[in-house]
Structure 1
Amino acid sequence: MHFDAAIFDMDGVVTDTAAVHAAAWTEMFDAFLSERAESAAIPFEPFRREDYLAFVDGRPRYEGVAAFLKSRGIELPFGDPADPPECETICGLGNRKNAAFNRVLKQHGVRVFGSTIALIGVLRRHGIKVAIATSSKNGAEVLGKAGLATLFEARVDGVVSAELGLKGKPAPDIFAVACDRLGTTRHRAVVVEDAVSGVQAGARGRFGLTLGIARENNDDELKREGADIVVRDLAEISLADLDHWFEHTVRTGATRPQ
């Protein structure tokens, strides 16, 4: 093999939880925006799918809250991660969203993308190391509910990021730490992402291959923002395809191509 490792995002790549996150964000922001509109006697503008993709998808929770509020010209104090969900701070709103996510997760469990699990199995059988890198602080719980806790050789999630002071996507920090924990270098690793912020992180980190999954039919956007290859589902790509990329595009010792 001409590459050593594959690093997978979790939500929308391994687990079919992106829709749960989107619903939780919508529930939280719509309630907040509705209350704010009523108290200020201004029109209510709901949280839209475009807002989810542009401002919160793939980002650490509090960074997502801050990015969306900034897009609406709303200023709130940052607060403290210990703020209760009813607190009107960035942290409070983030914790309110997390409570909604965990409620749905408990009710419905976790579905996985079978094609992703199948590809991971092929990679492991051929000696390719695999890690998961996610902004979610629920990483361990989600993987446990999905029965995938032992599938990955390394996990870098929101809890690890907080402990190490890592920057969130689109910074490449979590993927770089995953490489370190797998004992490999960036130019011999694949980053697999479905979020715009995630493919931006893969490109900025100059990993050997940034593979985008266009779950939102956003092929062109993912390609434009840094994905080297874009597919709609991982059933469309094989181990041979990945190895061919590294053999013919990324030379040993080289950095990610311009």
Structure 2
Amino acid sequence: MTRALVLDCDGVLADTERDGHLVAFNRAFAELGHPIEWSATEYAALLRVGGGKERLKAYLAEHPEVDLARGGDLDEAVRAAHLRKSEIYVELVEQGALPGRPGVRRLVHEALDAGWQVAVASTSAQRSVEAVLRSVVGEEDYARVAGVFAGDVVPAKKPAPDIYLLAIDRLGRSPEEVVVVEDSAAGATAASRAGLRHVVTVSTFTTEDEFPDASLVVDHLGEPDLPATVLAGPDVLSDKLVDVAALEALLR
């Protein structure tokens, strides 16, 4: 039976929210002359909103004194700011500013070699997700990935299940054949609502989130010289690594 491993991007492939998206948003705001500079604390709260454009709109709704549109169309001003932010973000990725999280490249390679389909499902912009994935897993394994489902490809973003329902449909898999890797409560809720088993690897901004339906919660996926720690769920790890055998055990 073919299995599928579907990974979120931000906080899973790399700690992109802290080291990438937040940095890129603030650089874009400064470059475009917008009077906004988000702190890490502010951004952590905004992460409850799925999607970068939606995040910015939520902030503007709470700060009517910020005139992003300057008399023009607000949606267009948000799109322009988000486009420039995405360009800066890709530049950061290509400069190597966002190293992969422990165990991601290893697990993707193992899953592909074991005959699993591997895909990414994210609310971030398609170009940004592809850049991170290519950087983290390398060109050879990137070429073997079955799909990247990202951005505005679905109408409702996480915690809605739409992106995961789309992914498993395009991959031709049933929910019983899929394991998701997420890092946030919103992402884990999306996976749960899609009926999918999910492993959570907590990241900088999600250590206080709750994951009541997760099959397994770990600090990271683990490397031979950097063991993973099980924070919740069954200890199915061999050699302190989240590997293909562990994923198979969770599906059983």
- Whether TM-score is above 0.5 comes out as yes
Taking the TM superposition and a 5 Å limit, the aligned residue runs for 1:179-198 are 179-198=168-187
| Alpha-carbon distance in 2 for matches of 1:215, 1:188 | 26
| Alpha-carbon distance in 1 for matches of 2:143, 2:188 | 25
Report the equivalent of 1:69: 60
What is the TM-score when the length of structure 2 is the normalising length? 0.73
What is the aligned-residue identity percentage?
Answer: 24
Aligned with 2:218 (options 231, 248, 256): 231
Report the equivalent of 1:255: none
How far residue 200 of structure 1 moved from its aligned partner, in angstroms, is: 2.1
CA contact (8 A) 1:4 1:184 kept: yes
Give SS of 1:223's match: coil
Report the equivalent of 1:246: 251
Tell me: CA distance 1:210–1:12, structure 2 relative to 1, closer, same or farther (3 Å): same
Backbone CA RMSD of aligned residues:
3.1
Aligned with 2:130 (options 140, 149, 170): 140
CA shift digits 1:187-239 (9 cap, x unpaired): 331111123321221122221x1221112274441425x53421110113233
CA shift digits 1:36-76 (9 cap, x unpaired): 7xxxxxxxxx5222332332478322112112223435676
| Alpha-carbon distance in 2 for matches of 1:11, 1:94 | 16
Between Structure 1 and Structure 2, how many residues are aligned? 223
Matched, 1:113 2:104: no
How far residue 110 of structure 1 moved from its aligned partner, in angstroms, is: 5.1
| Alpha-carbon distance in 2 for matches of 1:100, 1:214 | 25
Tell me: CA distance 1:110–1:202, structure 2 relative to 1, closer, same or farther (3 Å): same
Aligned with 2:193 (options 204, 208, 215): 204
Aligned with 1:52 (options 23, 27, 43): 43
Tell me: CA distance 1:120–1:21, structure 2 relative to 1, closer, same or farther (3 Å): same
What is the TM-score when the length of structure 1 is the normalising length? 0.72
Tell me: CA distance 1:52–1:64, structure 2 relative to 1, closer, same or farther (3 Å): same
Report the equivalent of 1:40: none
Give SS of 1:245's match: helix
What one-letter code is carried by the residue in structure 2 that aligns with 1:26? N
Deviates more, 1:23-32 or 1:148-157: 23-32
Give 5+ residue unaligned stretches, structure 2.
223-227, 229-241
| Alpha-carbon distance in 1 for matches of 2:5, 2:158 | 17
| Alpha-carbon distance in 1 for matches of 2:158, 2:67 | 22
